[in-house]
Amino acid sequence: METPRIRIEDKEQIRILICHLIYSLGCPLTREQLIEITSYEQAVNYFDLTEALETIGERHCIITEQEGAVCYSNTAIGIKAAKELAEDLPQSVREKMFEEAVRVYTRDVAKQHSSILSVRYANNPKGNCTMGISIKDDSGRQKYYLNVITDTAEQAESIKSKLKKDPRSLREYLDEYFK
């Protein structure tokens, strides 16, 4: 029997989900990133999302333009909504959307930088961290994407610093492993 999908349709709940994602990642997200993240497993209808995004700038988010892209970052009210009201959203949706946000953000950061490695992590409400690790091939295209959960932020930071010291060794290890 297939598990029914949980879908968020209420515009206020969609705005809270957006604030939660921005707060959890600790960085602004673009409109395109939010569309991609929330369309994962059809958690939010595209038209409901765009309607919520049209009104989110009134109280919850600051809307800016960076490098030609519309970006959203939380206001004090948005942070408060993320902290206090996100618990009212279904946990499965929060967790799936957060994991997707880490993946999308890490992928996009990796595209912007010439390094073969991009590591981003975010603290989860439970105290552990979700890490997104993107490894490029020599032509600059993403070759591997790893999603790693650590018990603490200190572990995530340790892994990040070790990977940054020698990213080619990890890529070579993965290449050999997947031969």
Residue-level pLDDT at 4: 47
Instruction: Report whether pLDDT(46) > 90.
Output: yes
State the pairing for strand pair 69-74/61-66.
antiparallel
Integer Cα distance of 54 and 166 in angstroms = 44
Residue-level pLDDT at 67: 75
Q: Percent of the chain beyond pLDDT 70?
A: 94
pLDDT, tens digit, for every residue of 115-151?
Answer: 677 787 777 777 888 888 888 887 777 888 888 899 9
- Which amino acid is located at 155 in the chain? Q
Residue-level pLDDT at 2: 46
Instruction: Report whether pLDDT(13) > 50.
Output: yes
CATH of domain 1-112: 1.10.10
Where in the chain does DSSP place strands (E)?
29-30, 61-66, 69-74, 117-123, 129-136, 142-150
30: which strand partners?
A: 71
Residue 179 tokens read as: 């031969």
Integer Cα distance of 19 and 88 in angstroms = 13
**Binning pLDDT at 50, 70 and 90, where does residue 25 land?**
confident
pTM over 0.75: no
Instruction: Report whether pLDDT(108) > 70.
Output: yes
C-alpha triplet 97, 32, 143: angle, nearest 5°:
75
Phi, psi values for residue 5, rounded to 5°: -75, 140
Integer Cα distance of 31 and 37 in angstroms = 10
Domain residue ranges in the chain: 1-112, 113-179
Residue 45 tokens read as: 């209808």
Instruction: Report whether pLDDT(175) > 70.
Output: yes
Q: Is 3.30.160 the CATH classification of the domain at 113-179?
A: yes
**Helix/strand/coil for 95:** helix
Residue-level pLDDT at 78: 93
Residue-level pLDDT at 140: 73
Instruction: Report whether pLDDT(1) > 50.
Output: no
Residue-level pLDDT at 31: 95
Integer Cα distance of 111 and 88 in angstroms = 34
Integer Cα distance of 131 and 101 in angstroms = 11
